[in-house]
A and B are shown apart, each in its own frame.
Chain A
Amino acid sequence: MTTNLPFAIPEVRHEGPLKVTGHARYTADHALPGQLHAACLGSGVAHARIVRIDTTAAEQVPGVRAVLTAADIGDVRYGRQLRDMPVLASDRVRFMGQRVAAVAADTRQAAEEAVRLIDVEYEELPTLLDPRLATTPDAPVLHPEAEAYRLVQGARHAPAHPNIQGELVVGAGAEELAAAFGRADHVFEHTFRTPRQHQGYIEPHAAIVWFDDDVCHVISTNKAPFGLRQQMAAATGHPVDKIVVYNKFIGGDFGGKGFSLDEYVCFYLARETGRPVRSIMSYLEDLSSTAPRHATELTLRTGVTRDGTFVAHSAEVLFDGGAYGAAKANAHLVPHGGVDTMSAYSVPATHHRLTAVYTNAAPGGHMRAPGDVQAIFAGESHVDMIASELGIDPVELRRKNLAGGKTEGQDPSETAAVIDQVLLRAADGIDWSGVRSPGRGVGVALYRRKGGTGRGGVVMRALSPDRIQVITGAADQGGGTVTMIARVAAATMGIPERQVEVVQQPTAEALFDSGAGASRVTRVLGEATRLAATELSRLIAEPGAVFPVEVAQEVVAPADEDCGAYGALAVEVEVDEETGQIRVVEAVLAADTGTVISPLAHRGQLEGGFVYGLGGALMEELPVEGGQIMCGTLGDYKLPTSPDVPPLRIVSVAGESGTGPYGAKAVGEFGNLGVAPAIANAVARASGVRLQQLPLSAEAVHARLRQTGPESAPPREPGG
């Protein structure tokens, strides 16, 4: 079945013409008759008891139709899993920017004017800003009522301390781990830190909510419409089958569009006024009060034998969860990828403890490979630091420890051979052993990214033998979902792609879909399409088939599905020893990403992922002072643009088949993963400066170079 597939032909985006001609309607482009405009008052303090809210003046503003506080709607809590986030703060605020009151008015200006006139009296409370202090005896308890919090699905395991949001402990038991470390000749321990970072989507969060009798309609930027429907039902008590979510085009996501805020506010404003209510966040609100990547501290410990074999590994990963756990999508309430500190290697005993704690900052959320980014920066820096200490070449140390690579007396597995190829192709591509001028050095990072998991389905309908529809509830955040589905359908049925129409339908029409997250869309919806198309082909070929013929197909990719893609990123950098400025001269990304369905989208994901990683590595940080995010626009929160991107070469390595349709693998959260550690490793080899904290800023390099002084320049790590 995998031969003669037409996937090598570069795709034409089905939705492309709509987008480039401006006809694609994003959430904020929708305007309903009689619609009102929402604006919210955010808290100006990080932690306080609300003494009094006076909305009298706001209610007098001409055009204002409703002013709501928790006194009007009650203490309504929502979340993707943990329902701890109030729609409007009731008795206390826990981060700066948390919504306290909401206004609906005839114009946005009137709503904003009314918000300015709302007077809130706060009694400030001690703040908890350092996650390392969250469980100390003196730490203020942020959620005294935490025991009453509910998950959207299922019961919540009560944490050991009320300031703990979530915890995940996996791996070997204490005795086994201690025994494994006992077999090591050396034990290395290093601590790494990563900052809060923003997803950087361009379209701000937006929502429109209206009621039609008792049916609540929602147009939203949320990328998981079915999830939003369920979360809104759980929070508001409105029946889930009376909520309809429409999400067609989303202007960038990168993890930030899985969590919704204003849909809830609009729900209550629309119910109060009987009118449609639209909310469009300002980018200031998006930067300061949505759900950025968790700031993280990771302490890694690895036991190594004299010859460089890893025998034991443990990681303590502490996530700054911010004021609410609501933005996390899993029941453990930690970014799962934190376990991937050493996922490309074979280590006989490993142990990971992931903890997310409450602090008085914006809630931590998901961002392109949540947890993995932090874990791989730490893990791959750690491996290079071990190599440096042992005097072993970093590529050789990695080759010695590849996953599946060293069962005693046996040949390495096919997996190990693939990883080895991935690593070597990246190293060769950057000319690993080449002689370099002073100030230049190369670095590499190797990693595994697991495939997408989740549930989703499509309905396929043959209107005639040459007219096929695929109905999906998936939102398209720019990744090319619609085109991917059409290509899989056409290839499976052996028909031209133009005979396939992909129809995006709201939650009331389409089959359930977990949403465009966790790299699952190609794995789940692509495979559902393949299975449905196979069945549809069979049915329409039957003699006497009566059109339309319809097939519904659901696919579940289990959370423990053993499928991953391996990547190795090698970079050459130049470090300016006077300024500390890091310039990435060149990069090579080698990857075994399976069958490629849409070549342009695949390349776009890998290249775009690299650029995304470049920003995360070198410049991106949401600076926080006293709980306030000190960044109001994308003029301050800088993202790389074309002139900042070095030449990147992509090398495809034929590896094991993926679990997606025709052996496809996930690539959406892949290209960014190796960038920060590869650059950090290259900087160490170029200049002797080892940075264990992101972003890798020029000033940080400069400070370290100056610390050691020009006379006692630090030794460059071997092989630079």
Chain B
Amino acid sequence: MRPFRYHRPGTVAEAAQLIADLGEDGAILAGGTSLMTLARLGLAEPQHVVGLAGVPELCGIEGNSGDGITLGAMATLRQVETIPPVRRLAPGLAEAAHQVATVRIRNQATVGGTLVHADPSQDLPPMLMVYDAVARLTGPTRTREVPVAELFVDFFETVVDPDEILTSVHLPPASLGVIAGYLKFLPRTQDDYATISVAAGLTVVDGCIDTARIAVAGGGSTPQRCREAESALVGGGTDVAGLAAAADLVPEALDPVSDARGSGDYKREMARISTRRLLQRLVSESAT
């Protein structure tokens, strides 16, 4: 690993100024579970690293049913997994966080890091899409909001500008009523990246599906909403045939790479099966 100079700003404004000044020589360090791994492999060689651990305004998770939930960029995945407002109001998100790697990694990895790193196999992004979450980005001259569903561009690439910092993610109150769940298909070890994983959220009114969200991780260069499958569900019933028909539309939305976790074809097929199984689970939960 190449040596670098370490900067420790105390505010978002300081951090934003630093990364603007450093330009391409700088990298932002949140939990370090991605950046340090890349650096150790020689795949990232920043000369300057801006650590966000000392920026209090990026920490913490707040939420209630009236305002929605706000996750600070430096909130750890372990906090997302365990903090009562998330568990109570967005249990699907807590479930997805629980599925990330191991407790040691969850204690270190952050919400902001998992989004900005933009590894298409990460667990939180598809579930944040299901909750219609919106990311807040702060740059030198402006602050803007981008839905998580529109955040990702390609492998390890987002719409976040080099001089912007992702400061928080907001789950709007309207999204919190869904019955959401996460199915991570792990044919090797429990702490592995998913071969494919599916996040889904439904609202069921009088036996009829009123809203639907389906998003897949590991199915291509970015996590993806599967809008055709969602549309197929809305207005329909909760019978298995209908759920299966919607799940059948998921593989077409995907273009997974073949790797040690499975071939592209296998991942597509597992996305279909996982979606159907997850939808069945959510429907049965909605009935109780």
Contact of A633 with B41 in the complex, beta carbons under 8 Å: yes
A556 part of interface (Cβ distance < 8 Å): no
A632 part of interface (Cβ distance < 8 Å): yes
Contact of A581 with B187 in the complex, beta carbons under 8 Å: yes
A543 part of interface (Cβ distance < 8 Å): no
- A631 partner, pick from B260, B262, B266, beta carbons under 8 A: B260
Say whether, besides A109-B2, A633-B37, A623 and B260 are in contact (CB < 8 Å).
Answer: yes
- B260 partner, pick from A109, A113, A579, A621, beta carbons under 8 A: A621
Most buried by A among B37, B185, B270: B270
A508 to B266, CA, bound (A): 57
Closest to B269 in A: A702
Most buried by A among B187, B189, B190, B262: B187
Q: Which residues of A contact B66 (CB under 8 A)?
A: none
For the complex, count residues of B whose C-beta is within 8 A of A. Answer: 23
Contact of A699 with B273 in the complex, beta carbons under 8 Å: no
Contact of A619 with B189 in the complex, beta carbons under 8 Å: yes
Most buried by B among A284, A633, A638, A697: A638
A641 to B269, CA, bound (A): 27
**B41 shortest CB reach to chain A, Å:** 6
A643 to B188, CA, bound (A): 11
Say whether, besides A699-B266, A702-B266, A636 and B273 are in contact (CB < 8 Å).
Answer: no
Q: Which residues of A contact B187 (CB under 8 A)?
A: 579-581, 697-699
A640 part of interface (Cβ distance < 8 Å): yes
Closest to B185 in A: A579
A630 to B258, CA, bound (A): 13
- Could you give, for residues 194-207 of chain B, a 1 whenever the CB lies within 8 Å of some chain A CB and a 0 otherwise? 01000000000000
Q: Which residues of A contact B2 (CB under 8 A)?
A: 109, 112-113
Say whether, besides A578-B273, A579-B273, A621-B260, A284 and B41 are in contact (CB < 8 Å).
Answer: yes
Contact of B189 with A639 in the complex, beta carbons under 8 Å: yes
Contact of B273 with A641 in the complex, beta carbons under 8 Å: no
A304 to B78, CA, bound (A): 59
Q: Which residues of A contact B40 (CB under 8 A)?
A: 282
Closest to A702 in B: B266
B143 part of interface (Cβ distance < 8 Å): no
Q: Which residues of A contact B193 (CB under 8 A)?
A: 635
Q: Which residues of A contact B1 (CB under 8 A)?
A: 109
- A641 partner, pick from B191, B195, B262, beta carbons under 8 A: B191
Contact of B185 with A638 in the complex, beta carbons under 8 Å: no
Q: B-side binding surface: helix, strand, loop or mixed?
A: loop
**B276 shortest CB reach to chain A, Å:** 9
Closest to B188 in A: A619
**A657 shortest CB reach to chain B, Å:** 39
- Could you give, for residues 283-294 of chain A, a 1 whenever the CB lies within 8 Å of some chain B CB and a 0 otherwise? 010000000000
A618 part of interface (Cβ distance < 8 Å): yes
A644 part of interface (Cβ distance < 8 Å): yes
Contact of A632 with B41 in the complex, beta carbons under 8 Å: yes
- Could you give, for residues 38-50 of chain B, a 1 whenever the CB lies within 8 Å of some chain A CB and a 0 otherwise? 0011000000000
**A610 shortest CB reach to chain B, Å:** 15
- Could you give, for residues 132-163 of chain B, a 1 whenever the CB lies within 8 Å of some chain A CB and a 0 otherwise? 00000000000000000000000000000000
Contact of A643 with B260 in the complex, beta carbons under 8 Å: no
A465 to B102, CA, bound (A): 52
Q: Which residues of B contact A644 (CB under 8 A)?
A: 189-190
Within 8 A of B (CB), among A635-664: 635-636, 638-641, 643-644
Contact of B189 with A641 in the complex, beta carbons under 8 Å: yes
A282 to B40, CA, bound (A): 9
Closest to B273 in A: A578
- A579 partner, pick from B41, B191, B270, beta carbons under 8 A: B270
B82 part of interface (Cβ distance < 8 Å): no
Closest to A644 in B: B189
- B189 partner, pick from A581, A640, A698, A703, beta carbons under 8 A: A640
Most buried by B among A113, A621, A644, A698: A698
Say whether, besides A630-B260, A702-B266, A638 and B273 are in contact (CB < 8 Å).
Answer: no
Within 8 A of A (CB), among B190-246: 190-193, 195
A641 to B1, CA, bound (A): 28
**B269 shortest CB reach to chain A, Å:** 8
Q: Which residues of B contact A578 (CB under 8 A)?
A: 273
- Could you give, for residues 89-125 of chain A, a 1 whenever the CB lies within 8 Å of some chain B CB and a 0 otherwise? 0000000000000000000010011000000000000
A578 to B188, CA, bound (A): 16
A623 to B260, CA, bound (A): 8
Q: Which residues of B contact A581 (CB under 8 A)?
A: 185, 187
Contact of B263 with A699 in the complex, beta carbons under 8 Å: yes
Closest to A283 in B: B40
Within 8 A of B (CB), among A557-615: 578-581
- B37 partner, pick from A635, A641, A697, beta carbons under 8 A: A635
Q: Which residues of A contact B270 (CB under 8 A)?
A: 579
**A378 shortest CB reach to chain B, Å:** 23
Q: Which residues of A contact B273 (CB under 8 A)?
A: 578-579
A61 to B88, CA, bound (A): 58
Within 8 A of B (CB), among A691-712: 697-699, 702-703
Q: Which residues of B contact A618 (CB under 8 A)?
A: 188
A581 to B188, CA, bound (A): 9
**A701 shortest CB reach to chain B, Å:** 9
**B227 shortest CB reach to chain A, Å:** 25
A699 to B270, CA, bound (A): 10
Q: Which residues of A contact B192 (CB under 8 A)?
A: 638
Closest to B3 in A: A109
Q: Which residues of B contact A698 (CB under 8 A)?
A: 187, 195, 262
A623 to B269, CA, bound (A): 23
A residues apposed to B, CB below 8 Å = 109, 112-113, 282, 284, 578-581, 618-619, 621, 623, 630-633, 635-636, 638-641, 643-644, 697-699, 702-703
Q: Given contacts A633-B37, A638-B192, A643-B189, list 7 more A-B pairs with CB under 8 A.
A: A109-B3, A579-B270, A618-B188, A630-B260, A631-B260, A641-B102, A702-B266
21 contacts between A and B (CB under 8 A): A109-B2, A578-B273, A579-B185, A618-B188, A619-B189, A621-B260, A623-B260, A636-B260, A640-B189, A641-B189, A641-B191, A643-B189, A643-B191, A644-B189, A644-B190, A698-B187, A698-B195, A699-B187, A699-B262, A699-B263, A702-B266
